[in-house]
Amino acid sequence: MTKVEIPITRNPVSPERAEAIRRAVQGASTMPSATGGSRLAQPSDAEAFLEFLQDPAIHAPIYTLPRPLTLASLGDFIADHLEQRERGEGLLFLNFTEDDRLSGYTDLIIWPQWAAGELGGAVRSDLQGQRRGVEGAKTGFNWMFEVLQLDLICETAAPDNIRSARLLGGLGFKRKGEVTSHRPDGGTRASLVWEINREDWGNVVWRDKTKAH
């Protein structure tokens, strides 16, 4: 059986274009958030990050987090993302409310050679609802297309994650298939895959703005 990985759509870009994307990732120090100001995660944030992730409703569905969740494993997780940023291949942002409480995080995987990326993360339970998830996703995807200059965004979620399916479908993403996602601890999870390209996203944003006026 052929092993399928993400992104499913792979359109190689020129070395110059890939390098420009790497530089954009390397230069990013913050990104817009619907739940507070954001900044790059630092090793000193591991304790606050661990406290945030104690809620199973937050950490259980996210296969990219280390297992078990400990101060040491999250310290390594943050350090690895700082190394990814140096290579122009990933970013980890923490979001904070005005009272300096951790309100969420955003985890980006970037494939410069295909001008593609994936956005993951979570929001504190008391800040969910009231369309914050939809608005936060739209803000993040816009930023990836505009600031990082990507051509494609690829998202994954468990087959029973109806909430993510509705969100992605409502934003114009198209189902592309199913893959096996691999956890850092060696475990696996079946994942449905959605993708959207720059042109289709522009059409979705245009339709959305039209409805608002």
Higher pLDDT, 3 or 70: 70
pLDDT at 212: 42
What average pLDDT does this structure show over 65-75? 94
Report how many helices (DSSP H) and strands (DSSP E) the chain contains, helices first: 7, 7
Pairing state between β 90-96 and 152-157? unpaired
**Strand locations in the chain, DSSP E?**
37-40, 90-96, 102-111, 116-123, 152-157, 174-182, 188-197
Q: Which residue is associated with the tokens 């990836």?
A: 144
At 133-171, the pLDDT tens digits run: 788 889 999 999 999 999 999 999 888 888 889 999 999
Would residue 96 count as lying in a domain?
A: yes
pTM: 0.90
Mean pLDDT of 5-28: 97
Burial class (CB in 10 A: 0-12, 13-18, 19+), 194: buried
Q: Please indicate, yes or no, if residue 135 is contained in any of the structural domains.
A: yes
How much is the pLDDT for 63?
Answer: 84
Report pLDDT for 2: 45
Q: What is the CATH number of the domain that holds 82?
A: 3.40.630.30
Mean pLDDT of 45-60: 91
Q: Has residue 200 been placed in a domain?
A: no
The predicted structure's pLDDT at residue 110: 98
What is the total count of domains within the chain? 1
Which residues span the domain enclosing 132? 15-154
74 falls within a domain: yes
Any domain includes 198: no
In a domain, 163, yes or no: no
In the numeric block, which tokens belong to residue 66?
A: 């280390």
User: Could you tell me if residue 175 is inside a domain?
Assistant: no
Asked if residue 9 lies in contact with residue 176, where contact means CB atoms within 8 angstroms, the answer is: yes
The confidence band for 4, taking pLDDT boundaries of 50, 70 and 90, is: low
State how far the alpha carbon of 171 is from the alpha carbons of 78, 101, 138, 194, 196, in Å. Answer: 30, 29, 8, 11, 9
What residues does 155 pair with on adjacent strands? 194
The answer to whether residue 187 is domain-embedded is no
